[in-house]
Amino acid sequence: PATVVVLASGTGSLLNALLAAAREPGYPAKIVAVGVDRVCQATDHAEAAGIDHFRVAVKDYPDRAAWDHALTDAVAAYEPDLVVSAGFMKIVGPAFLERFGGRFINTHPALLPSFPGAHGVRDALAYGAKVTGCTVHLVDGGVDTGPILAQEAVDVLPDDDEAALHERIKVVERRLLAQVIAAVATRGIVSDGRKAEIPDERAHR
């Protein structure tokens, strides 16, 4: 199977979904380590699953570039085929992208290019969007600007608050992210820089 390092910062429910998917027989990817940038629950999920984990916190480095190099080295130690940001709330720097560009996948809780950034759900609600969703994309040097691999829509309901809407989006995200990682692990990504596609199953047979 393809080897994957997952980066996370929060409750780690997406990580947990990936760990569950990876336990299914025949799942084509194996999570070899979990990296975090702060003390968070994601570490507990890794620990419970018996998977290596590491923390590289910005505050432990003199500047952002030193943190970027340290994160790059910590991930590179596992020589992963893919790196997945599953609720990792930091923007990686040029060293990380140099090393893992084209195989670093993020999931975002909005339909990009709408509502990028740290508050995708809150911003969609505040705008009055009637439909939002989630986007799985390759990470480039911008904030949630990289080539899109997959998206799914989620309706905004009249009484939604941020927590309720985010939870409905995450239900979709957990499934979509596991599907995309499996597809990429099996069939790879074809990208011209702006657009990216996962070749379809027929083309692969």
Binders of ligand GAR in range 19-48 (CB under 6 A): none
Q: How far is the CB of 199 from ligand GAR (least distance, A)?
A: 25
Is 38 part of any known ligand binding site? no
Binders of ligand GAR in range 141-170 (CB under 6 A): 170
DSSP state of 200: P
User: Up-side HSE of residue 131: CA atoms within 13 Å toward CB?
Assistant: 5
Which residue in 45, 108, 137, 166 is the catalytic one?
108
Is 92 part of any known ligand binding site? yes
Give catalytic status of residue 108 as yes or no. yes
Distance CA(172)–CA(154), nearest Å, equals: 8
In sequence order, what are the residues at sequence separation of 6 or more whose Cβ sits closer than 8 angstroms to the Cβ of residue 64? 58, 93
> CB-wise, 10 or 28, nearer to ligand GAR?
10
In the list 20, 39, 65, 118, the residue contacting ligand GAR (rule: CB under 6 A) is: 118
Is 55 part of any known ligand binding site? no
> CB-wise, 68 or 144, nearer to ligand GAR?
144
- Taken in order 25, 134, 73, 81, the sign of the CA dihedral is positive
Distance CA(88)–CA(18), nearest Å, equals: 14
> CB-wise, 153 or 190, nearer to ligand GAR?
153
Q: Are strands 190-191 and 2-8 parallel, antiparallel or unpaired?
A: unpaired
Interface ranges with ligand GAR (CB under 6 A): 10-15, 86-87, 89, 107-109, 118, 120, 170, 173
